[in-house]
Amino acid sequence: GAVVSQHPSWVICKSGTSVKIECRSLDFQATTMFWYRQFPKQSLMLMATSNEGSKATYEQGVEKDKFLINHASLTLSTLTVTSAHPEDSSFYICSASRDGTEAFFGQGTRLTVV
């Protein structure tokens, strides 16, 4: 089946620094990718829609200047958490759909801000 890969799987960063997370569709092209965030013992919450060649669309309450999304090619979207703080510590997950029938998810990135 189609594969979506995220990198890194986990990252620890200092408060105030920025962290970039990559999401790649390995065997298909994805004009649209999605970014989710999941806090412990909670469900996934959609953060934003990443559109290849155009600006991302953010869900209500998600700060676009804090969570920078770049979708520079049909196989790569990046999420940059800028000026990270401990409350940004979470599990970040991306997804992409090859043909609209099912979504494939990355393995997730565990971000810990200390």
Partner 1 sequence: DAKTTQPPSMDCAEGRAANLPCNHSTISGNEYVYWYRQIHSQGPQYIIHGLKNNETNEMASLIITEDRKSSTLILPHATLRDTAVYYCIVRLRSNDYKLSFGAGTTVTVRA
List contacts with partner 1 (CB under 8 A).
4, 6, 32, 34, 36, 43-46, 49, 91, 93, 95-97, 100-108, 110
Distances in Å between the Cα of 8 and the Cα atoms of 44, 59, 83, 102 are 19, 24, 18, 24
16/24 with CB nearer partner 1: 24
**Closest approach of partner 1 to the CB of residue 62, in Å:** 13
79/93 with CB nearer partner 1: 93
96/113 with CB nearer partner 1: 96
Q: Is the dihedral of CA 18, 24, 30, 34 positive or negative?
A: negative
**Closest approach of partner 1 to the CB of residue 103, in Å:** 5
36/84 with CB nearer partner 1: 36
Query: What CA–CA distance (Å, rounded) separates 89 from 110?
Result: 8
**Closest approach of partner 1 to the CB of residue 104, in Å:** 7
Task: Identify whether the C-beta of residue 56 lies closer than 8 Å to the C-beta of residue 69.
Answer: yes
Q: What angle do CA 30, 34, 36 make, to 5 degrees?
A: 150
